[in-house]
Amino acid sequence: MKGVILAAGMASRLRPLTDGTPKCLLDVGGRTILALTLENLTAAGFRDIVMVTGYREEQIRRYVGENSPSLSVEFVTNKSFAETNNSYSLWLTRRAVGEDGIMLLDSDILFDRRILGLLSGSPEANCLAMVRGKPLGDEEIKMKLGPGGRLLRIGKDVPPQEAAGESIGIEKLSASCMGCLFDILERTIVGRKTVDLFYEAAFQEAIDAGVAMTAVDVKGLPCIEIDTPDDLEAARAMRAPAGQHLFP
C-alpha cells in the first residue's frame, strides 16, 4: 500500500499567507503541516509515497528532499492546478499507484497519527475517516450512513440533518477500488471534460456502482482541516505545548 498526498492547490482562502508559500509548508507550532503528515505516514509503516504538486511545487520538492531524504517519494505534477480540483490530481496518480491500494490524504490536515492506525486496522477494504459531533453546514464533506457504517452518500450536498459526520480527507482504498475510481475519473475527465470536481464525486459514483465503503469514527482523536486563517490559528493552538504529545 502506498501513501498518496494531494498538494497541488493554491489555497486562495489563506492568502496572503500562501502568496509565496504552499499551504502544506505553513507553520503549525514550529513544524510544517507536511512534516507532520510525512512523520505520521512513516510511523504507520508507509515507505512509498506519491505526492501530487502544482502550486509552488519547487518549494515542496526541495523541502522533502532536504528533510525526508530516507523516504521514497514519487512526485507527480499537476500543471493545471489553477483550473482543476483534487479529483484531477488523484487521476494523475494512476501510473504511479499502479496496482496498489493507497492511503489517500489531503495535504492540509493536522491529525493525530493514531487515525492512520484506525484505518489500517479496519477489516474493511475501503474506509474513510469520519468526525462525529461537529456542527455541519454547506461547506463540509458530509457522510450519510447505512447499517454497519456503510457509506450511502458523501459530499457537500448531503443534508446536514441526514449526515452522521464529516469526512476529514483521509481514506484507505483497496487496489480494486482504485481501479474502479480511476475508470470513473477517466470517464469524467477525458470523456466529459470535467476537471473541477472533488474526488468525493467519484467516490459516490463508485458507491452507486456497488463498491462498499465504510466510515471509521476517529473516536475524538484530534484533527483539523486547514482552509482559512481561523483554521490555521486553531491548528496552531492544538499544537501548543499542552497538546504537542498528540502531534509529535
List residues bridging with 7 in a β-sheet: 53
Give CA–CA dist 162/227, Å, rounded.
Answer: 24
Q: Which amino acid is at 197?
A: L
Q: If pLDDT is split at 50, 70 and 90, which confidence band does 120 have?
A: very high
Closest CA to 108 of 30, 1, 223: 223
Give CA–CA dist 199/211, Å, rounded.
Answer: 15
List residues bridging with 6 in a β-sheet: 52, 106
Top mean pLDDT of 53-57, 139-143, 194-198, 232-236 is at: 53-57
Enter the C-alpha cell of residue 124. Answer: 474493511
Q: The cell 489553477 sits on which residue?
A: 82
Model confidence, pTM: 0.92
**Homologous superfamily of domain range 2-242:** Spore Coat Polysaccharide Biosynthesis Protein SpsA; Chain A (3.90.550.10)
Query: Does residue 32 sit in helix, strand or coil?
Result: strand
Q: Residues with Cβ < 8 Å from 183, sequence gap 6 or more?
A: none
Q: Residues with Cβ < 8 Å from 220, sequence gap 6 or more?
A: none
- Give 178-225 pLDDT, tens digit per residue: 999 999 999 999 999 999 999 999 999 999 999 999 999 998 899 999
Instruction: Answer positive or negative: Cα dihedral of 126, 73, 88, 16.
Output: positive
- Give 50-108 pLDDT, tens digit per residue: 999 999 999 999 999 998 888 889 999 999 999 999 999 999 999 999 999 999 999 99
Task: Tell me the domain boundaries of the chain.
Answer: 2-242
Instruction: Count the neighbouring beta carbons within 10 Å of the beta carbon of residue 193.
Output: 7
User: Average pLDDT, whole number, for the chain?
Assistant: 92
Contact criterion met (CB below 8 Å) for 222 and 238: yes
Give CA–CA dist 104/90, Å, rounded.
Answer: 9
Q: 48-53 and 72-77 as β-strands: parallel, antiparallel, unpaired?
A: parallel
Enter the C-alpha cell of residue 144. Answer: 450519510
Residue 124, pLDDT > 60, answer: yes
